Chain A
Amino acid sequence: MKTDIISVENVSKMYRLGEISTGTISHDLQRWWNKLRGRQDPFESLAELNDRTTKSQSGYVWSLKDINFSVAEGEVFGIVGKNGAGKSTLLKILSKITKPTKGCIKLDGRVASLLEVGTGFHPDLSGRENVFLNGAILGMRRHEIKSRFDEIIEFSGIERYIDTPVKRYSSGMYVRLAFAVAAHLQPEILVIDEVLAVGDAEFQKKCLGKMQDVSRRQGRTVLFVSHNIVAVKNLCNRVMLLEHGRTRLIGPVDNVLEEYQASEKDQEEGIRSQLPQDTAACFLGWNLEGQSASDAHSCYTREDFTIVFHLRCKAALHSCELNLRISLEDSSTILFANSRDYSGQSFTLHPGEYQLRFHLHLPVSKGAYNIEVGLFCKEWIDIWRSSTRLTVLDTFEGSAREREGILNIRTGFSLHTLSRPIEIDLL
């Protein structure tokens, strides 16, 4: 058995909710007084488990509670969980950005954390200068960066723009450069949070490949937090599922992901199970209309139908736009539609409930497709990715055999003869 390189023991982290400023001094004094007398922090016993949906009584919550796990050398350890389950807090503690309230973590190696790509990039400096800046922030020495500079630039694939200020970069280029720097760090332990959320499909693949390389070939340990199930499945050996700041399950990747996906599912088809509390508007659910399939979330390929989104609006919103994304299981988008696409105007919402409709048809092969919808009004008001997927059925008229390809369009065929056929004497 390989030796452990990370050992997390009873780690808990308490946070204070709401306004930090009010009553800070009095709480600080009480805490200090108790510490002086060797007693426990009086607010620790008040703190509650972290559940976003219920209202807190005491104003203190345990963002993490009694987390225990260990990671062996060379292992890729995944951490999954819903928003607010404590994933990011755990990574922050592991990467020494904040301290735990209780418990301890033992590490046997240099940790490099990548909680965000491009940390410390300065918009006015060129790509070259930013590589050195970012590398130094991540703990590299200048000569280390220098010796790997060409490799970094080659990996990023933006050689041409290396002397341009990064504020002129597209977001994709920015991420490419930033990830390239991070990928060339040489720590024993690499902590990564959701960095693959950006960049195009090709670059995401490259990043995943690089991370695989880091763990398998170079034998380094990776801690990986992601919502991307496919990436977790491909990369990780073991996975931990967090729920409300506690460990729900630790185990082999398939078992845990199954449990996670089961817990993520909305209770009722097409209805959102956890509504965001603090947004001006939020999506409630979706269904189809005008389709010939009996199920409210299925349609036949190529037929015209309407997809209806139910929205609750709590404040007046002017010049809104609605975006719809339909994607495959591996998150590659097959359709991106905007409410203004065809002479549609931006719309105004007042407090109340609405139905927002897209009229479309999907000439795609049969299967389940992800539905993601976003309301935009100067900024993103609400983005919802439904766990209920849109099922596309194959038409009765077509052949029943399995087809390859994303598109399912009826293609005509004819044969034209351009010269007179040569008559062959059969005798």
Chain B
Amino acid sequence: MSQHELKRTWREIITPQNNIFSLNLKEIWNYRDLLFILVRRDILAIYKQTILGPIWFFLQPVLTTITFVVVFARVGKLPTSDLPPLLFYLSGLVLWSYFSECILRTSTFFKDNNPILSKVYFPRLIVPLSLVMTNLVKLSIQLLVFLLVYICFLVKSPDVRPNAYALLFPLLILLIAGLGLGTGMMISSLTTRYKDLSHLTTFGVQLAMFASPVIFPLSGFGNGSYRLLIMANPMTGIIETFRYGLLGHGYFSWGLLGYDAACMVVFLLLGILTFNSVEKNFIDSI
């Protein structure tokens, strides 16, 4: 009997520790339907609760852009690297809001989904992935607004000219998604134990925007030490490349983009690492 037991292969063994480097992609693949249903649920839920529905998605960047145009361009007379202020701010804001939404939504997902997570098991990574994808839908609606404004200026203004680097756009979105997911996962994992962090997140993401070229172009910093600080923000290269490719003005270097990609990989790895280390027991401390 005992010999038989020893030879027995079990389909699954639950032990106190799990491998913190494993991603278990196979399991996630098995649950891919859940991923899509969660995305659908989140979008439908937003749509059903409000009167204006998805209109909110583009009202938000439009109103913020108008505010920025008035405050920074008209009153503050800040440079916009020879671009129409409307297009300059809108391009930065659309990308930045995707990044910040990814971080903010994933950073609280353990808390937000506690009722489900404490009652049923499924690969936990599904939830942050679904959030990043839901935000992608919001992003595409906002990009539609951007496209409308962009086409207007393309016809009107000779300054705005796209070039071949515009083709890097899908890569840029991938980079933002990865950065947002990685950072969000790190924060969400740490907040399960150290709740103080959650106060820091909203505020930190807001401050980080000022250390990016959303408001002030990289070219406006000259060659000082501030320039290096801004360039250290992994979103800088992404926003500048986006503007350079689509609008024809901005800063582009493969080096900076490579640095952003490296940041994404590191953040993602760190995110997965911290995520896996809290995943097994987070429900006890939340």
Contact = CB atoms under 8 A, between A and B. Distances in A.
Nearest to B195: A21
Interface residues of A, number: 47
A124 B116 contact: no
Contacts, number: 112
A138 B34 CA distance: 9
A99 B18 contact: yes
Contacts of B119: 97, 113, 115-116, 119
Given A25-B194, A97-B117, A137-B120, A124 B49 contact: yes
Given A24-B194, A133-B37, A106 B13 contact: yes
A114 B138 CA distance: 34
A133 B41 contact: yes
Contacts of A109: 11
Given A99-B14, A136-B37, A129 B44 contact: yes
A206 interface: no
Interface string A133-163: 1001111111000000000000000000000
Contacts of B34: 136-137
B193 A24 contact: yes
Given A96-B14, A107-B12, A141 B120 contact: no
B203 interface: no
A381 to B, nearest CB: 24
A51 to B, nearest CB: 19
A139 B285 contact: no
B67 to A, nearest CB: 31
Nearest to A100: B16
B15 interface: yes
Contacts of A119: 115-116, 119-120
Contacts of B18: 99
Interface string A112-135: 010110011010110001001100
A210 interface: no
Contacts of B14: 93-94, 96, 99-100, 104-107
B37 A132 contact: yes
* B34, B44, B115, B122 interface centre (most CB from chain A within 10 Å): B34
B280 interface: yes
B283 A136 contact: no
A122 B41 CA distance: 8
A139 B11 contact: no
Nearest to B120: A119
B116 A105 contact: no
Contact of B120 (A107, A122, A125, A138): A138
B280 A98 contact: yes
A75 B10 CA distance: 18
Contacts of B41: 122, 125, 129, 133
* A94, A97, A103, A125 interface centre (most CB from chain B within 10 Å): A97
A299 B108 CA distance: 58
Contacts of A16: 284-285
A98 B15 CA distance: 10
B31 interface: yes
Interface in B98-130: 115-122
25 contacts: A16-B284, A21-B195, A92-B118, A92-B283, A95-B120, A97-B120, A98-B280, A98-B283, A99-B17, A99-B280, A100-B14, A101-B16, A104-B14, A105-B14, A106-B10, A113-B120, A115-B120, A119-B115, A120-B120, A124-B48, A133-B38, A133-B41, A137-B116, A137-B122, A142-B33
Interface of B: 8, 10-18, 31, 33-34, 37-38, 41, 44-45, 48-49, 115-122, 193-195, 280-281, 283-285
Given A108-B12, A140-B33, 16 more contacts: A15-B284, A20-B193, A20-B285, A25-B194, A28-B193, A94-B14, A96-B121, A99-B14, A99-B281, A104-B16, A105-B14, A124-B45, A124-B48, A133-B41, A137-B120, A142-B33
Q: Which 10 pairs from chain A and chain B are nearest by CB?
A: A99-B280, A136-B34, A96-B121, A106-B10, A105-B14, A142-B33, A107-B12, A119-B119, A124-B48, A116-B119
